[in-house]
Amino acid sequence: MVTFDHREPGTDPDAWTVFLGQLDAPDLDPTVFGSVVVVSPHPDDETLAAGGLIARAADAGVPVRLVLATDGENSHAGSPTVSPARMAALRETETVAAMYSLHAAITTTRLRIPDGGLREHRDALTTGLVEVLTAMPSPVLLVAPWAGDGHRDHRIAGEVAREIAVRSATADAHADADVTLAEYPIWLWHWGTPGAADAPWDRARAVHLTTEVRERRSRALDAYRSQLEPLSGAPGDEPVVDARHRRHFERPVELFFTGGTPPATSAQAREDSSRTRESFDAHYARKPGGWDFEGSWYEQRKRAVTVSALPRARFRSALELGCATGVLTRAITERADHVLGIDIAEAPLDAARANAPAATFARMTVPDEWPTGTFELVVLSEIGYYLSPDDLDRTIDRIATSLDPDGVLLACHWRHPDTEAVSSGDAVHARLRERWPRGATVTHVEEDFVLEVFPGPAAASVAHETGLLG
């Protein structure tokens, strides 16, 4: 699993150009197929990764259908100037212009699945894509994201496309769906290392582009102004594809992965896996400070809300699950006699020990690994949605067992889509409310995060504990 931040500079495009120039990838000819279907999780993915392939096929008279999974309304989820509805409208207009630049004969199907929600609407994506494929002339070249690209929507779209392609080659295939799959990377160029085993280079195939096709692809990409240019000068309105990243998509060759065997595990099993230790290690290797816990006003404010929600002035002992670099841990040490912070990754713990010298830290993978003893306070902050449903349930059970009878659990989670999350903050808190034996004594919900405090069996309210009530 991969984690990245599109706002970071990413891998040098020139380094990739050198590597790809040495890669002996056989040709992929889109003109020999009966039709081409291109799956795009978000408007502009198709042009970035396969604009040249689309133009070449359409020029040869091959029917080309673009399947837009989402409207891309959440590309700037934190924008103070453009609402999701307005962004969806902008990107729809941009897509029409982009496809016209590539070729006037391209047709489009919009599935209008929520942006960031392909995992939750996997069946809708499957059904919509099968309907398109069965209506297209065979054999079909199905062009879809590479599932290892690092973006959750890209992963789900890639997995669905591969499952359909695999079925087309087996006895349970749709009768008229003869499908060949070509997978495209987008964010690999940003986070990957040229020559490293990040991608199946042995399956690489190349689509070579003439100067005229490259010019049309460039004009098509220019149409996506909402992604290429700042929406305003305000934070949250930065471009998603800046000039440096765009250079990855201006080469005279487009690269795809074909062939290969289907994953050994089922789609459901993949969906039910918790985020791995390796993915967190990779994140901290790129961003030693984690999620900018010290400098971000959002993090500063959320930390203040978290501390203010604690129902006691002082705790005997506290356990923080997913302590990261220990910035919140430091605040907890000011309210607890003994604090233990644990994290799945080793990398941030040195910073945590420096940030919160009064606390103790250990590397553990919950729920399989768990500290001994009991705690008056347990903090579950921003890690629940990285756990599989089974691991989340076991974590909740572990917390309940480790909590002193008069103790409390404080849970706090981000509510927006996260490309690396297994579920969502809202789903985590819904599950907590289902499994916890007592109702929450504190519930704070805002657009960005949800925070709740769940009491142990003998925990009393602040008013009762402080003598205001008998």
DSSP per position, 26-89: PB--GGGSSEEEEEESSTTHHHHHHHHHHHHHHHTT--EEEEEEE--TTTTTT-SS--HHHHHH
Mean pLDDT, range 199-220, rounded to an integer: 95
- Who contacts 241 (Cβ-Cβ below 8 Å, separation ≥6)? 6, 44, 48, 224, 227, 228
pLDDT at 3 over 60: no
CA distance 143 to 258: 10
- Who contacts 14 (Cβ-Cβ below 8 Å, separation ≥6)? none
Q: pLDDT band for position 197 (50/70/90)?
A: low
Which neighbouring-strand residues pair with 411? Answer: 380, 452
Mean pLDDT, range 462-467, rounded to an integer: 87
pLDDT the model gives residue 142: 97
Mean pLDDT, range 132-140, rounded to an integer: 94
CA distance 439 to 93: 47
Q: pLDDT band for position 318 (50/70/90)?
A: very high
Q: Which two tokens stand for residue 407?
A: 């103790």
For 14-42, the pLDDT digits (tens) are 999 999 999 999 999 999 999 999 999 99
Mean pLDDT, range 82-111, rounded to an integer: 96
- Who contacts 470 (Cβ-Cβ below 8 Å, separation ≥6)? none
Q: Which residue has the higher pLDDT, 8 or 318?
A: 318
pLDDT the model gives residue 166: 86
Indicate the Cα dihedral angle 7, 9, 15, 16, nearest 10°: 10
CA distance 437 to 55: 59
Share of the chain above pLDDT 70, in %: 93
CA distance 394 to 34: 50
pTM above 0.75, yes or no: no
